[in-house]
Chains A and B, each alone.
Chain A
Amino acid sequence: MPRFHLINGELVQYTSEEESARDVEEASDIAKEASIKYINERREGTATTPGYGSFGEQLDKLYHDINAGKFGANAKTGSWFVGISSVKAAHPKSS
């Protein structure tokens, strides 16, 4: 379908030159849009696949991995884990 300009409320059909120029512009944008798309999808997810999640969610996963011993026993003595553990102890999860 032909494109139209809407200029101050008046419809003006694209000339063939304008159609071609716009097609070129859109085509040149494809690679850029692809890079934006994967970044957005990783950060934000899609309707069916979650993204990274918030910092809080990511760090919570890290806490549970450490707590499960996946980083070795020493990881539980680090200041970050000890600090988070103390907060969790001070504000226990309701049962």
Chain B
Amino acid sequence: MATIDLGKIKFKWQGTYAGGTAYVPDDVVYYVDGSVGSSYMCVANTQGNAPSSGGTPHASWQYLAKGQATSPTTTQGDIIVRGSSADERLGIGAAGKVLKVNSSANGYEFGEGGGQVLLASADLTGQTLGNVTLNYFTNTYSVYKLYIHGMYFSSNNRPRLRFIKNSDSLPQEGNQYAWHSMHPYRTSSANNHNTHGAWTQSYGEMHGENMVHTHWSMAGEYIFYHPMSTTRKTQCTYYSIGEESDRGQHNQHIGAIWALQLEAYKGIVIYPTSGTITAISYRLFGIIN
């Protein structure tokens, strides 16, 4: 009587699937469907029928052990997103960019996230600055916001600005500015207000015509509109606060500065009426279009 060695009963490993091979039930093969490598067990005689396609097994085959797709990532910072038919890598974006839905609304991309982009910043003390130049205007943004605080002067003073011409990188001088401001203020005795301004001047006043006491600092927010345009005049609106006489008068200015000619400006230069700027903190942002 024949004997059967039960230890010999097992699947028949046939190696990697080959289209020209005839397979019978219990044959086991390895096959890569797309990017997923799996082992399959034959369940019916078959030849020329791949074990699976698009993740679906052929009727002659069943998964024995289903594999997982190989990671499509290749580089640090990659993320995996589903493409039209399979997972795909999306490489990391440039510094400061954010992940957002693309214009077709069928995938992701890195781009500007809205809001404002920090272009320049500084926190300086112990200085003897005759001026502060910020050449950061480009065609990338139409609107820029400059925040200044902790601005001290070597003597009772106030800041002015000039635009820097893009054509020759020199400050715009001549009577090419107009500026004005509303000026609410509080003295130790009363509230009051008035207006300041000038039409055609060689600079724009950044705090009306009120000095800032050397003991105290001033702060302000300045918004610049389309400075690089050659078809629109550059405009600036601002709010500023400063303490004039030592603990005797607080000034606020709500003002505007105009460039009077059509000129592309790449930046601004801020300078005191006299003396120097001894300290300043600033943040310059470009506003996302």
Contacts and interface: CB of A to CB of B under 8 A. Distances in A.
Do A and B bind?
yes
B133 A36 contact: no
A5 B135 contact: no
B129 A4 contact: yes
Contacts of A26: 273-274
A3 to B, nearest CB: 3
A20 interface: no
Contact of B120 (A9, A40, A45): A9
Contacts of B274: 26, 29, 33
Interface in B183-221: 185, 187-194, 209-210
A53 interface: yes
B128 A44 contact: no
B69 to A, nearest CB: 48
How big is the A interface, by class? Answer: 20 to 34
A8 B189 contact: no
Interface string A32-66: 01001000100111111011011001000000000
A84 to B, nearest CB: 20
A47 B245 contact: yes
A9 B280 CA distance: 11
B12 interface: no
Q: Which of B130, B134, B191 has the most CB of A within 10 A?
A: B130
A14 interface: yes
B249 interface: yes
B192 A44 contact: yes
Contacts of B135: 7-8
A5 B62 CA distance: 77
Nearest to B193: A54
B235 interface: no
Q: Which of A14, A26, A36, A46 has the most CB of B within 10 A?
A: A36
Given A33-B273, A43-B194, A3 B128 contact: yes
B155 to A, nearest CB: 11
Contact of B124 (A6, A40, A46): A6
Nearest to A39: B209
B187 A5 contact: no
Interface string B98-131: 0000000000000000000000101010011111
5 contacts: A5-B131, A6-B127, A6-B133, A47-B248, A53-B192
